[in-house]
Amino acid sequence: MNGSRVPWWGDLTAVVGLALAGLVFALVPVPEAVRTAAVLPLLLVLPGYAVTAALFRPGEISRQLRAVLSVAFSISASVLGAVVVQLFIPLDRPVWAATLVGITSLAAAIALDRRDAMPADSEETRVRLPRIGVVALAAMLVATGIAGWAIALATEGVHRQLDAAHFSALWLVPGESSPTVDPVKVGVSNHEGEAAPYAVSVRQGNRTIRRWDVYLEPNQTWQGQIAPTAISGTAPLIALLERSGKPYHRVSLPIAGGG
């Protein structure tokens, strides 16, 4: 049996169209089940099919091998593309999807150019759709499972690194001489990678001297002051920082003569 055939350009047109649809669904607000169904082919099939088409013209490999390579190259494109992109910009779902669409489109363009060089009356200018046998399907499922496990581990590691790199700084420092002479400076710096609301309070003993509500953009710094006249006794000053309504950090500043 010769199997189903499509024009030399039809399969690649469909692949690029489905890739663009996956990108759209990755960007627009839709139910998660719908988004997953639309993005999964972009992750597991489409880039690899285009890359396989760029490497092997119609008739050069069997349909079964073309199907296996489509999945293998797709997984490779997903992993390697993510590694390269995150060296330059933060990697998230839209960026990842756009990367895969770019790989798919570039590979499809190369494949079309190679097919254009084939004789117009060649039997192989009509593409046979891939056929997946039981063994090939089992191999693809195993490869997909291993790749998914590897991606999950890599993603978890990236999240841990990002969490360690993102923080908010709080400081409480005296003036040039002492807290009872010069104003005490209290400050917050946002290194969370996103805008965040903060609540800053300075206490001495059971008394709250002052409280500020602050909203900082990424890498933005805020600073306030405590007047010397607001400090009474020798109990240390305590600065408390809340981020998004939750306790985050605490620093103290001894007062001269205090214990």
Q: Please give the pLDDT value at position 161.
A: 53
Give the CATH number, domain containing residue 213: 2.60.40.10
Both tokens assigned to 113 = 């150019």
Q: Do residues 29 and 94 share a domain? A: yes
Rounded distance between C-alpha atoms, residue 9 and residue 109, angstroms = 10
pLDDT in tens, the chain (259 residues): 344 444 557 788 889 998 898 888 888 887 877 777 778 888 888 998 999 988 988 878 888 888 888 888 888 888 888 778 777 877 777 888 888 999 999 999 998 888 877 766 555 545 555 555 565 556 555 655 555 555 555 555 555 555 556 788 999 888 776 666 788 999 999 988 888 999 999 999 889 999 999 999 988 999 999 988 888 888 899 999 998 888 999 999 888 654 4
Both tokens assigned to 210 = 């002052």
In the listed set 133, 165, 197, which residue is the last one of a domain according to the structure? 165
Rounded distance between C-alpha atoms, residue 19 and residue 77, angstroms = 13
Domains in the chain, number: 2
Q: Do residues 175 and 154 share a domain? A: no
Q: Do residues 17 and 118 share a domain? A: yes
Report the sign of the C-alpha dihedral through residues 227, 231, 237, 239, in that order.
negative
Q: Domain range holding 248?
A: 167-253
Q: Is the pTM of this model over 0.85?
A: no
Q: Do residues 48 and 121 share a domain? A: yes
Q: Do residues 112 and 214 share a domain? A: no
Q: Do residues 40 and 137 share a domain? A: yes
Q: Do residues 187 and 132 share a domain? A: no
Residue appearing with tokens 């300075």: 202
Q: Please give the pLDDT value at position 189.
A: 92
Q: Do residues 61 and 151 share a domain? A: yes
Q: How far does CA 197 lie from the centroid of its chain?
A: 23
